[in-house]
């Protein structure tokens, strides 16, 4: 005898189509009608893109180390940051600049992080940012799960958010975070920003699952998929998941479908493995154009405002670059800072030896 003991589904959500039109105005979330809020988020998306272009130029001219572009991810990243409260914890990867900027990280700090040997690679972890800056792939999901467990044990109404890519979602760390969130009923939101490429490996060759959101089901968590180029959908999904976690209803997984319009990093050349037609088609669905068309149709935006905004973005980025370039390198001892409250004995000994060699 065969009996079905469980069945599942993954819902896909989109509110703004690529032409900037609301698919179902009557059922759209409130933010779709809040043009003032959308304009502020649109401004940040444009600031992120202006910054991103400048950072690539700095790397190409030898003024920045290897840099990971976020071109095409702006809606997903800005939505993640905007849905969070200041007291929540963000555990990103390495290209979620929109979320980081929304939460108070300065552009000059991001440049310092990517500065490499030229600038001492010395991002300073300011406590007010309240996030763990990571370059590993997927381990940040477990960091976020640990933070979420602390929030729960302390009975604090705070939420931890981790961001991982499609490739990172294949790592054991991501699956372990799902299991921990399920077992301990954690206030955690796991976001998969699916940009279709794990460096040079396309999504279709990573696994045979119809969606990445369904990985949540193995831990008994809800999982949904949204259009990652639709700011309205991304904001709606994040706000819903965060409030669910904040009110003790547990963790969830959101897959945001977008596309990596840039190379993986400035050390990569995606033309070697990615069809040009695929990239060209992806540009037709990119997030900034979509939101611009919607705001313009609503009478809340025009070409004059657009140019003024772009000029302001350029000035802010230039000021950040100047601050970055005028920041002196960190002293050698700084490499031992910001990780431990009290240095373990072996690292303390290394620090002493390093400082003695400088004398």
Active site members: 260, 264, 273
As a whole number of angstroms, the distance between CA 65 and CA 87 comes to 31
List beta partners, residue 224.
254
Q: How far apart are CA 44 and CA 122, in angstroms?
A: 25
Instruction: Tell which residue, 98, 100, 185, 192, has the closest CA to residue 141.
Output: 192
Q: What is the DSSP string of 128-148?
A: GG-B----SSSHHHHHHHHHH
- Pairwise CA distance, residues 11 & 27, whole Å: 15
Residues pairing with 198 in the sheet? 201
DSSP state of 11: -
294, 233 in Cβ contact below 8 A?
no
Distance CA 64, CA 285 (A): 30
CA separation for the pair 25, 32 (Å, rounded): 8
Strands 89-91 and 12-13: unpaired
């Amino acid at each position: 005898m065969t009996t079905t003991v469980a069945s599942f589904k993954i819902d896909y959500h989109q509110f703004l189509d690529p032409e900037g039109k609301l698919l179902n105005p009557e059922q759209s979330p409130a933010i779709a009608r809040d043009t003032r809020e959308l304009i502020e988020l649109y401004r940040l998306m444009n600031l992120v893109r202006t910054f991103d272009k400048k950072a690539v130029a700095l790397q190409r001219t030898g003024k920045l180390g290897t840099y990971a572009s976020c071109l095409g991810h702006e809606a997903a990243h800005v939505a993640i940051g905007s849905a969070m409260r200041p007291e929540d914890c963000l555990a990103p990867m390495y290209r979620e600049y929109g979320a980081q900027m929304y939460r108070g990280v300065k552009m000059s700090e991001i440049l310092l992080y990517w500065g490499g040997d030229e600038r001492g690679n010395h991002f300073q972890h300011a406590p007010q940012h309240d996030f763990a800056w990571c370059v590993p792939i997927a381990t940040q999901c477990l960091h976020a799960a640990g933070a979420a467990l602390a929030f729960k044990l302390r009975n604090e109404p705070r939420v931890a958010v981790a961001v991982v890519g499609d490739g990172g979602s294949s790592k054991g760390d991501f699956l372990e975070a799902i299991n921990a969130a399920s077992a301990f009923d954690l206030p955690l939101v796991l976001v998969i920003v699916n940009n279709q490429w794990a460096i040079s490996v396309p999504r279709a060759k990573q696994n045979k699952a119809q969606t990445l959101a369904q990985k949540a089901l193995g831990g008994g968590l809800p999982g949904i998929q949204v259009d990652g180029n639709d700011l309205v959908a991304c904001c709606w999904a994040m706000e819903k998941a965060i409030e669910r976690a904040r009110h003790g209803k547990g963790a969830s997984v959101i897959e945001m479908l977008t596309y990596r319009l840039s190379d993986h990093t400035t050390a990569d050349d995606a033309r070697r493995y990615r069809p040009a037609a695929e990239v060209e088609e992806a540009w037709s669905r990119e997030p900034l154009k979509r939101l611009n068309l919607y705001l313009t149709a609503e009478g809340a935006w025009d070409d004059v405002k657009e140019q003024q905004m772009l000029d302001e973005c350029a000035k802010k980025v230039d000021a950040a670059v100047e601050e970055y370039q005028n920041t002196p390198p960190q002293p050698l001892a700084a490499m031992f800072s910001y990780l431990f409250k009290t240095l373990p004995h072996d690292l303390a000994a290394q620090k002493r030896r390093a400082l003695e060699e400088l004398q």
